[in-house]
Structure 1
């Protein structure tokens, strides 16, 4: 173990730092400012120091405001009218993201992620405007095809290369620029939650219906519950429920958080609307497949978000006999009757022999696909 990890000194701010902090601070700061997107590990390796030391510098830079506060940078973005300024703001947001990730500061990570994506969107708006004014060269801006100002000898059009932007970045940023505000906000939240869940699962709302709503208690509307009841003939068990939810579900049996459905045996016709935080969602998906494979469950319908990029979703979908992809998003109900929708669509997975009945009941809610 290096001395960086064992020897520490106190700074004037009352915090402790690695012993090599003072000697390496200037070089590390220069490396961070030269390449804000570089990881802590990459910088440490390049300069022959430790992650601990690099992280300490990142922390001091953010704490001292050297990378600019989120609010100040947001203000700068609001008035930025050229690509270079917006790219600089984007880089600062990326550096703050890296710091927040290292510090496991979920609030700061969320704010910096929003700033990062808003900067890319602003860059896209500027690119679109440049194209409209014929100020951006087409087809990559090959120099032999670009008009030149006869007096100054300067190109009248800028190329993406001149702006330090790849064609892939330009395409992505312009796509963000054309995205409706509500969809853009959903994109930001999705990006934030996926990363936050990796280093702090507890920071992601336990109740999946609360994602994107700011509330904690939302229930499945009666129409979907009744469709499930008609499709299966009955709801014998709801293994991830509560007394409040049972006012609508009315399962023969249910397990709440205290009873822990993961520790129980599931039987009969099962309605499963599990919590969505990790690792709970993965565990309920695994449990569902296990109970079905054990022959304990006659039929099952699960309601989840359509996170098709996750392993738990594929575990359920791979075992399903039919899947309904909802048309739009489900308007979950609050305890006071308020309607709110999460930030993505949903899927119902059906496991059982009566695919025809499931299709008849759920085709009204979206596209039903049957396994072959």
Structure 2
């Protein structure tokens, strides 16, 4: 399935499922829910997980959400849902000029962390990908508690405080 939960697409790779590096989760957690978790993950990202088999968009979301959404056109739908939920952190490519950013990040996010360098995602078996993600990444916080956690984290990068959902 192209655009699988927690996936990132790369023409050079054989899989489109790319897991969040565990140090990101460790620095920002704990989380109550990951609504777009990969199937068969080697580590937990939250206390509760929905996978592509569950369709996390069809459930109510509670608590602090971690989200590494499917990239591509679907990402905007997931960010819209997180913006409306108002409590959580998402990881996406830093494509700040896109419609998705203008609709669901700039007016709604409380804080951003533009990650220094390029992330190395992990394969479904947990091994670190040899190649980096190929694009810069940003962490997006919705809600004041998530913004404080993001801005105070040990993750290297440029931090930006915004006015949305704070």
Same fold (TM over 0.5): yes
Equivalence for 1:253: 48
Give the number of the structure whose residues are more often strand, by fraction: 2
Q: 1:265 aligns with which of 35, 60, 68?
A: 60
Corresponding pairs, count: 156
Matches within 5 A, 1:153-192: none
Report if the CA contact (8 A) 2:36-2:56 is conserved.
yes
Give the number of the structure whose residues are more often helix, by fraction: 1
Q: 1:256 to 1:335 in 2, by over 3 A?
A: closer
The alignment yields a C-alpha RMSD, in angstroms, of: 2.0
Report if the CA contact (8 A) 1:272-1:301 is conserved.
yes
Report if the CA contact (8 A) 2:113-2:139 is conserved.
yes
Equivalence for 1:301: 89
Equivalence for 1:322: 111
Structure 2 unaligned runs (5+)?
none
Equivalence for 1:206: 3
Q: 2:33 aligns with which of 223, 230, 237?
A: 237
Report if the CA contact (8 A) 1:320-1:371 is conserved.
yes
Structure 1 residue 250: Cα displacement: 4.0
Q: 2:156 aligns with which of 347, 351, 365?
A: 365
Distance in 1 between the 2:88 and 2:107 partners? 14
Q: 1:250 to 1:305 in 2, by over 3 A?
A: closer
After the TM superposition, list the runs of 4 or more consecutive aligned residues in structure 1 that deviate by more than 6 angstroms.
none
TM-score for the superposition, normalised by structure 2: 0.83
Q: Look at both structures and tell me which one has the larger radius of gyration over its CA atoms.
A: 1
| 2:69 equivalent to 1:274 | yes
Distance in 2 between the 1:338 and 1:269 partners? 26
Report if the CA contact (8 A) 1:212-1:343 is conserved.
no
Report if the CA contact (8 A) 2:50-2:56 is conserved.
yes
Q: Relative CO higher for 1 or 2, CA cutoff 8 Å, sep ≥ 6?
A: 2
Equivalence for 1:311: 99
Distance in 1 between the 2:14 and 2:106 partners? 28
Distance in 2 between the 1:258 and 1:317 partners? 31
Report if the CA contact (8 A) 1:239-1:272 is conserved.
yes
Equivalence for 1:346: 137
Q: 1:291 aligns with which of 44, 61, 85?
A: 85
TM-score for the superposition, normalised by structure 1: 0.39
